Amino acid sequence: MEPMSESATETGLRLEEVTKRHAAMTTPAVADVSLAVREGEFLTLLGPSGSGKSTLLRLIAGFTSATSGRVILDGRDFTTIPPYRRNIGMVFQNYALFPHMSAVDNVAFGLRRRKVNRREATRRALEALEKVDLAGYGDRRPHELSGGQQQRVAVARAIVFGPRLVLMDEPFGALDRRLREGMQLEMMRLHEDLGMTFIFVTHDQEEALSMSDRVAVMNEGRIEQVGTPLDLYEHPASRFVARFLGDSNLFSGQVDAPGRLETVTGQHRVPADAGRGECSLLVRPENARLVPPGTPTPEGVNRVGCTIEEIAYLGARRRVVVRFESGEQGIVSAPARGPEELRVGDRPYFEWKPEAGHLIEHEPAPLDQAGVEVG
């Protein structure tokens, strides 16, 4: 990492080897995290519970202080600066709306702290409420609003004063599915509209993939990978990322010769310069297909024998769970109506093209069930 300097022209948020260790615990909640967030982007911190994503967000907000490392915003070291001087907007999972104030007073709170006079603050607050589709609800108290409405007030409150960053800590966790999807779209629209930098925390990978410009996948306090949703899905840098985002088939083995992966399920072709040493080969379910036994092997295609264990009809496609001779499970996403009938107990070939696979270099891990994340 090149030496970081504090420049006056730098914009955006930068985290430098930030670590947060709670006194009693030996494993840090956040370990050596370095991240650069670009101006105006929608970045999601994605990970399972305990991965440190919420802690990291709170570090950015200033609610808790880093044990070591730096938080730099627009070139200024913010590490020790308290929240009320960071000019950030935060949306909490439980909304945290002040119960003794009306919606409009809640929204105007940040403006009033910044010495905006009452009339102007109210006006802008009402505007913000309109922006989140809550025109006319200004005089209601939080307990008179539904969950979705409270959430929108929380968002309005966080953005009305034009903060540098907007932070959101699993804001849609408490909403039901339809509401959540609606709010996701609204959030994306809002982001477009406002052009502010959004940092979003969630454990829901679908949410992360659909909303974000970039995603940072976190696990046990570290960032495993940062990239666009496409990058992460198609080229995960680790088994964890591969398993966390979508279903996966992972074959572990050794690349002992260029282009060849030796695994328990046999030898597979991989692109020549894909990697070496201990690796896992990722094949996404939609890139694999099942062909009936006896079909001749096309040139250059990888194949593994398997038995169909389960078929789930999902309307648009079928999710087929198979078991390989080696004992692990695999998943194939098959069309709803295929040329052949698939039945539980059948023994087709699991087949994919080498280019469709992605090789992950890393330390070996025990063979796992495809699609099910561990820890």
Partner 1 sequence: MTKKQTVQGRRAPFWGVLPAGGLVGVFFFLPLALLLWRSFSEPSLGLQNYTELLGDPTAKTILIRTFVVAFTITAATVLLGYPYAYVMTRVGPRARTLLMAIVLIAFWNSLLAKSFAWIIILQDSGPLNDLLKALGLSPVHLLGTQAGVTLGMIQVLLPFAILPLYATMLTIDRSLMPAAQGLGARRSVAFVKVYLPLTVPGIMAGSLLVFVLSLGFYITPDLLGSPQNSLLSQLIGVHVQRLLDFPGAGALGASLLVLTLVVIAVAARLARGLYAVRAKDG
Partner 2 sequence: MDEENGGVSWGLRIVAGVIGVWLLAPIAIVIPLSFTDRSSFVFPPRGWSLRFYKNLFMDEAWRSALMTSLLLATVVALVSVTLGTLAAFALHRSRGRWTMVTEGLLFAPMILPTVVLAVALFNIYLRWHLVGTFIGFVIAHTVLALPFSIITVRAGLQSLNPDFEHAAGSLGARPIATFFLVTLPVLLPSILAGMAFSFMVSFDEVVVALFIQSPELQTMPVQMWTSIAAGTDPTIAAAASTTFVLTVLVILIWQYKPGRRRRGADV
Binding site for partner 2 (CB under 8 A): 58, 61-63, 82-90, 92, 94, 96-100, 109-110, 113-114, 140, 143-149, 157-158, 161
Q: Which does 149 bind (CB under 5 to 8 A by kind): partner 1, partner 2, none?
A: partner 2
Name the residue with tokens 């990291």.
Answer: 56
Number of residues that bind partner 1 (CB under 8 A): 5
Q: What are phi and psi of 145, to 5 degrees?
A: -110, 150
Binding mask 46-65 for partner 1 (x = CB under 8 A): -----------------xx-
The nearest distance, CB 301 to partner 2, in angstroms, is: 52
Tell me the three state secondary structure of residue 78.
coil
Q: How far apart are CA 289 and CA 331, in angstroms?
A: 10
Which of 8/23 has CB closer to partner 2?
A: 23
How many other β-carbons are positioned within 10 Å of the β-carbon of residue 315? 6
Q: Which does 321 bind (CB under 5 to 8 A by kind): partner 1, partner 2, none?
A: none
The nearest distance, CB 98 to partner 2, in angstroms, is: 6
Q: Which of 75, 83, 173, 266 is in the footprint of partner 1 by CB under 8 A?
A: 83
Q: How far apart are CA 322 and CA 329, in angstroms?
A: 6
Which of 63/98 has CB closer to partner 1?
A: 63
Q: Which does 143 bind (CB under 5 to 8 A by kind): partner 2, partner 1, none?
A: partner 2
The nearest distance, CB 94 to partner 1, in angstroms, is: 8
Name the residue with tokens 């070496």.
Answer: 276
Tokens found for residue 96: 């945290």
Which of 110/229 has CB closer to partner 2?
A: 110
DSSP H helices, the chain, are 53-61, 103-113, 118-131, 147-159, 177-194, 205-211, 229-234, 239-244
The nearest distance, CB 83 to partner 1, in angstroms, is: 6
The nearest distance, CB 84 to partner 1, in angstroms, is: 8
The nearest distance, CB 222 to partner 2, in angstroms, is: 25
Asked if 19 is part of the footprint of partner 1 (rule: CB under 8 A), the reply reads no
DSSP 8-state symbol, 205 = H
Positions of E strands within the chain: 13-20, 30-37, 42-46, 68-73, 76-77, 88-91, 165-169, 197-202, 214-219, 222-227, 249-257, 260-263, 266-269, 277-283, 289-291, 302-313, 317-324, 329-335, 349-352, 358-361
The nearest distance, CB 86 to partner 1, in angstroms, is: 12
Chain-centroid distance of CA 309 in Å reads 30
Asked if 98 is part of the footprint of partner 1 (rule: CB under 8 A), the reply reads no
Which of 83/305 has CB closer to partner 1?
A: 83
Which of 88/279 has CB closer to partner 2?
A: 88
Asked if 82 is part of the footprint of partner 1 (rule: CB under 8 A), the reply reads yes
Q: Which does 233 bind (CB under 5 to 8 A by kind): partner 2, partner 1, none?
A: none
Which of 63/272 has CB closer to partner 2?
A: 63
The nearest distance, CB 123 to partner 2, in angstroms, is: 18
Q: How far apart are CA 123 and CA 104, in angstroms?
A: 9
Q: How far apart are CA 267 and CA 355, in angstroms?
A: 15
- CA 91-114-119 angle, to 5 degrees, is 100
Residues in contact with partner 1 by CB under 8 A are: 63-64, 82-84
